[in-house]
Copies of this chain bind each other. A is one copy, B any other.
């Protein structure tokens, strides 16, 4: 069985190599940065994970997950997102509070617990941030997602997810009056810089293109 630390490395590699489109490899420094450790530390762990045949990696080369490693990583992501859903839906946690606690809960080992939790939550498809929850087989059906930046002027849409899950971004989102399932209307778009004027619950705000690109809508 893996240690929590090993699990964290696999999860980080998963998000690093599968979140950004087309990317399938990561580097030592990059990995160390997201895990808040020094490159030397990450390097040691990479050797260990290679030894266990969970990643493929050669000295001075790029890192990628092997099938067994990816499977374990997906399992951890699944647990993380199910716990986030539990905290949000059953325990009244807010959007930006769930992540930190789920970081701990994702390391609880008990297949039965996750099965039962998923059932209790009635087999949710998306977590509170709108990210896909892998099913028990490790499959993630990726919905095609559109960002607010792509929506034509005049149209109304519903917020289903955010791309950036940092607490600072989430707090900004809340500040603009947005939450999951909020209705958003695009009032105007500046062709100069792509910034938008939007309307949420009758309240108008002006947001940058970058902001709009971080909001997934349907």
Contacts and interface: CB of A to CB of B under 8 A. Distances in A.
Interface of A: 87, 90-93, 97, 100-101, 104-105, 108-110, 112-113, 116-117, 120
A46 to B, nearest CB: 25
Nearest to A104: B108
10 closest A-B pairs by CB: A91-B116, A101-B110, A104-B108, A101-B113, A91-B120, A90-B120, A92-B116, A105-B108, A91-B117, A104-B109
Nearest to A87: B113
A110 to B, nearest CB: 5
A161 to B, nearest CB: 24
A93 B108 contact: no
A74 to B, nearest CB: 21
A117 B108 CA distance: 17
Contact of A108 (B92, B101, B110, B113): B101
